[in-house]
Amino acid sequence: MFYICSMENFYLSDEEMSEYLNSIGGLCNGYFTDKGPIVDPGFFCVSNGWFGLIKSLINDLTDLGWNKETTQVKEKFGGLRFYINAGSDEIHQRIGQAEKDSYTVCEKCGEPGELRKDIGWYFTLCDTHHKLTKNGKTKVSFDYDGTLALPSVESFAKELVNDGYDVWVVTSRVGDDETPNLNDDLWGSCERIGIPKHKVKFTNFADKIDFLKDRGFAFHLDDDLYELTSIMETKDSCQPLNVGHSDWKINCLEVLKK
């Protein structure tokens, strides 16, 4: 019997997978035999994009006479691994086919994907989730007054958030504990962009490099030449970029390409 992974979307929510497992009476734990049926999708150490693959595999294995006993289901080197204690050659062939198919399905969303090796670990991802995962490892910082407060910079920061970059605000302002409601404009901008509050640093007029140094930021965009010079003089990996430069956006994108 020959199985082919179709191009359907294989994403299932936790609720959908749990409902399916309960409908078949769960799986048997072949490692901890004293435990009850496996009906919690948390047993599968993979993301939801592969749940549909697993569901199809379970159905086919059951039709082939499998006893529903599994010891572990996980991701390894970017592919699905489905371990059982015993089964016929046909059962093992079907498992091998599912594991092969997993390298064509995004583990995150269930859409067509491919194996990625450039993000610190092997993952099978679609183009969108590859970009989001890769960009999420890059931190960037924006000053607020005179910088992120500008509509053009706010729009650019929103683009970066949408592309998965780790976007922060580092401002000389004092926090809300000292001055209630003073930062309402800043919070409004962060809400529009999608920057969470825990990624806003109020330096209370201290030098921003004191926070930025050794934290792995790719760049800090600011209008204050003193702050930019302080960053440059430390020779930290964070690139100080001047929003007053006519090519400030191009300069930011050039840093992100490195």
Strands (E), 49-138: 69-76, 79-84, 114-116, 123-125
The reported pLDDT for the residue numbered 223 is 98
By residue count, the chain amounts to 258
Pull the structure tokens for residue 40: 């919690």
Pull the structure tokens for residue 163: 């592309």
d(CA 176, CA 192): 19
136-257 CATH, one of 3.40.50.2000, 3.30.565.10, 3.40.50.1000, 3.30.450.40: 3.40.50.1000
The reported pLDDT for the residue numbered 67 is 94
Closest by CA position to 171, among listed 194, 199, 150: 199
Strands (E), 79-189: 79-84, 114-116, 123-125, 139-142, 166-171
> Most distant CA pair in the chain: distance in Å?
73
Tell me the β-bridge partners of 222: 242
- What b/e readout covers 210-232, taking b as 16+ CB neighbours within 10 angstroms? ebbeeeebbbbbbbbeebbebbe
- What is the SS3 assignment for 78? coil
Each residue's pLDDT, cut to its tens digit, for the chain (258 residues) gives: 444 455 478 999 999 999 999 999 999 998 888 888 999 999 999 999 999 999 999 999 999 999 999 999 999 999 999 999 989 999 999 999 999 999 999 999 999 999 999 888 899 999 988 988 888 889 999 999 999 999 999 999 999 999 999 999 999 999 887 677 889 999 999 999 999 999 999 999 999 999 999 999 999 999 999 999 999 999 999 999 999 999 999 999 999 988
Neighbours of 64 (CB within 10 A): 15
Tell me the β-bridge partners of 125: 114
The reported pLDDT for the residue numbered 181 is 84
User: Contact, 161 vs 194, CB < 8 A?
Assistant: yes
- What are the sequence ranges of the domains in the chain? 14-131, 136-257
**What radius of gyration, in Å, describes the C-alpha atoms of the chain?**
25
Report DSSP state, residue 27: B
The reported pLDDT for the residue numbered 178 is 67
